[in-house]
Amino acid sequence: MTKLFIENAAALSPLGASLDEIWSAVMARKTVYGKVSLPGDRSFYAAETRPGTGSDISVYAPLFNDAIRGMVADLGIAEPVDAVFFATAVGNLGQVENEVYAGRSITLDDLDFAQVEAVFADTPAWGPETRFVSVPTGCCAGLQATGLAKAVMERMGIKRAIIMSLDFGLTPLAFEAFHKINATTGYDRSANASPSRPFCRNRNGFLFSDGGGAILVSTEQSFPDQPCISGYGCVSSAYHMTDIATDGDAIGKSIMLALQQSGLAGHEIGHVNLHASGTQQNDEAEYNALLATLGSDLPTITAFKGNHGHALGGANMIELALSWKILREATIPPTPEHLPIDAYDAVTPRSTPQALDRLSILKTASGFSGIHASLIMEASICA
């Protein structure tokens, strides 16, 4: 099965405007959270890449396209790529809402995520032969776009591609939708810690945020020990529109598919980066899935939504970019400050960075309707 070699990675999140800034903040155990105020005198917890913008849709709307151009630049691309695999959950929702609130008419084209192709066409990554693929599958979108690229690039003659997932969803409509399913948290000015607390006993939901990430991949290896994507698995259990089965069976199946494709056994995984949204259901499901697939002696775990919240479809590519940094640095970041990490005995906190001894990482993501994706990244043995 084709391996995808990662040439470079980029990201932006509420912790920083570049992957290096985010990495430094994660290594320093930083967390970030703030407030978005909506009409009707209501305020919600949120983490913004540009603080204060979520409360003004006219200011917020352009950030989606700006972020695409910025991450293409951060990848250091000097010539066109063969393809762009773009993933998102809510796409250009901010732009569409801004048009509606301003009283301007919209068309079906405005709601078509494939129209994002035009933004890439205005960057150095685009050429006359560049293909564009849109993957609008929610909070698994980044991993699913990566799995799709892994499956089709070689057979379609695509040697070099950008895989990007991005969401700027801190809009009135999105807040209303997530509020209806009790996913948001009302802002409390007296709070002294982030409401995003994966694997803590005292946890009840996610911190809505924005941002995304990108990787530049190739089917050809450029240098020894180059990190690569060696395995992928995806399962759609159709369990529930929004809930997740806490037995972790479907997540476990996606992990097993990724392990089988990579040729690794569970005990050969050196680190796990989880979806870890911080909800009671998600954490229990992922924990059970890990026990079933990797055994009771779990490797170290990172849960970056505890640092900077949940950016929907953009979150898993931020985490994938950070996992690439973990492989490159052979270093596992500490857990965020003020998170006790006390929900499960096998998942323990770290106050300092640790060395990554086995250069293999399992990355998971989950989405609504029971969609679960898992991915294996390796270094040094990808040749």
Overall residue count recorded for the chain in this entry: 383
Angle at which helices 63-74 and 93-101 cross, to 10° = 150
Residue 382: pLDDT band (50, 70, 90) is low
What is residue 24's DSSP assignment? H
The pair of three-digit structure tokens given for residue 107, joined into one six-digit string: 């068309």
Pairing of strands 83-87, 160-167: parallel
Characterize the bridge pairing of strands 42-46 and 34-38.
antiparallel
DSSP state string for 107-152: -GGGG-GGGGHHHHTTSTT--TT-EEEEE--GGGHHHHHHHHHHHH
Cα-only R_g, the chain: 19
User: 187: which 2 tokens?
Assistant: 């802002």
User: Please, which pLDDT band fits residue 55 given cuts at 50, 70 and 90?
Assistant: confident
Where do the CATH 3.40.47.10 domains begin and end in the chain?
4-218, 228-378
What's residue 57's pLDDT? 92
> 167 in helix, strand or coil?
strand
Provide the CATH number for the domain formed by 228-378 in this structure: 3.40.47.10
Q: Is 230 exposed, middle or buried (0-12, 13-18, 19+ CB in 10 A)?
A: buried
3-state secondary structure of 27: helix
Average pLDDT over residues 137-145: 93
303, 104, 100: which is closest to 196 by C-alpha? 303
- CA–CA distance, 344 with 248 (Å, rounded to integer): 15
CA dist 104 to 98, 101, 116, 170, 192, Å?
9, 8, 20, 21, 41
User: Which pLDDT tens digit goes with each residue over 301-310?
Assistant: 999 999 999 9
pLDDT of residue 181: 76
Q: Position of tokens 């990190």?
A: 227
114 vs 125: CA distance, rounded Å: 17
pLDDT tens-digit map of 309-333: 999 999 999 999 999 999 999 999 9
DSSP label at 262?
H
Which tokens in the block code for residue 323? Answer: 């996992």
Dihedral, CA atoms, 293, 297, 300, 306, nearest 10 degrees?
70
Tens-digit pLDDT profile for residues 144-203: 999 999 999 999 999 999 999 999 999 998 888 888 777 777 777 777 778 888 988 887
Q: Token digits for 158?
A: 């695509």
The pLDDT tens digits for 208-240 are 999 999 999 999 998 888 999 999 999 987 765
| Residues facing 160 on adjacent strands | 218
Residue matched to tokens 């009283």? 103
Q: Residue 153 carries which side chain, given as an amino acid letter?
A: M
8-state DSSP, 232: E
What is the fold, at CATH topology level, of the domain defined by 4-218? Peroxisomal Thiolase; Chain A, domain 1 (3.40.47)
288, 248 Cβ separation under 8 angstroms: yes
Its pTM stands at: 0.95
